[in-house]
Structure 1
Amino acid sequence: MRNIAEFQIIGRVGKLKRLGSTIRVSLAANYPFKDKEGEWKEDPHWNEVTIFQGELQDRVWRQIQSGDLVHARGRIKQNSYVKDDETRYTVDLICNELSRLAKPVELGDDGE
């Protein structure tokens, strides 16, 4: 049996940034809930995915923009490092696939 540690996110792009030889993309997946008054609210969960693959980096950098709805998929990797004599742990979302599902909706001058 194959072992897997994967993630899948459908959400809106926040920021794209180059960091060394990688591209990092922040994604917000919204979870609706009812508050105490029975009103629907959004609870955005922000995650940052890291892209190492050169071809995927080029395509994402050229074609993906803030606000786009995307589907990201990849593997989860836990890392650790020592800072100030303390071991710190991180969870990296290494993105192998990222595709745009929709562009952001642009509202007209009248808000529609």
Structure 2
Amino acid sequence: MQNIAEFRIIGRIGSAEIKDKVAFLDIAANYGRKVGNEWEDDTHWNRVTLFGKNIARAEKMGKGDLVHATGRVRQSRYERNGETVYGVDLIVDRIAVIAKNGRPADDQHDDDA
């Protein structure tokens, strides 16, 4: 049996940082949370990393687009000033636009991935 660590995020793009060989998207996902007798949205921001053909896809996406991203979780570790620093990277394998700023996306799925 293969061991895996993976993620799935459905949320709206808040910002994008596109570079030559890597892209980063900040995606907001909302969860319901009960506060007293009322339900409120509890927004969680997730920074995902894209490589290869997913960079070209990210270039076509904009702030507010609803996206579905899946991929693998990678833990990183390095030394800084004698201390070990741990981090978690969310590496996108597949990403698709569900809606462009509130309008359904047409033909944005990545069936060739």
Q: The TM-score by the shorter chain falls in which range?
A: 0.7 to 0.9
Amino acid at match of 2:61: I
Correspondence 1:30 to 2:30: yes
Amino acid at match of 2:58: V
**Partner residue, 1:88:** 85
Preserved contact between residue 18 and residue 55 of structure 2 (Cα < 8 Å): no
Correspondence 1:5 to 2:2: no
**Partner residue, 2:71:** 74
**Partner residue, 1:60:** 58
User: Which whole-Å CA distance do the structure 1 matches of 2:20 and 2:82 have between them?
Assistant: 25
Structure 1 unpaired stretches of 5+: 107-112
Give the SS at the match of 1:96.
strand
Relative to structure 1, the CA distance from residue 4 to residue 100 in structure 2 (aligned partners, 3 Å threshold; closer, same or farther) is same
| Aligned residues: CA RMSD | 1.5
Give the SS at the match of 1:57.
helix
Structure 2 unpaired stretches of 5+: 104-113
Number of equivalent positions: 103
| TM-score, with structure 1 as normaliser | 0.85
**Partner residue, 1:42:** 41
**Partner residue, 1:18:** 18
Give the SS at the match of 2:57.
helix
User: Which whole-Å CA distance do the structure 2 matches of 1:27 and 1:105 have between them?
Assistant: 15
Deviation at 1:21, TM superposition (A): 2.3
Question: What are the Cα deviations for residues 19-72 of structure 1, in whole angstroms up to 9, with x where unaligned?
Answer: 562100001110122321x2231100111000012x2101211x2101011000
User: Which whole-Å CA distance do the structure 1 matches of 2:101 and 2:89 have between them?
Assistant: 27
Amino acid at match of 2:11: G
The structure with the larger Rg is 1
User: Which whole-Å CA distance do the structure 2 matches of 1:70 and 1:98 have between them?
Assistant: 7
Which shows bigger deviation, 71-80 or 15-24?
A: 15-24
Correspondence 1:97 to 2:94: yes
Amino acid at match of 1:40: W
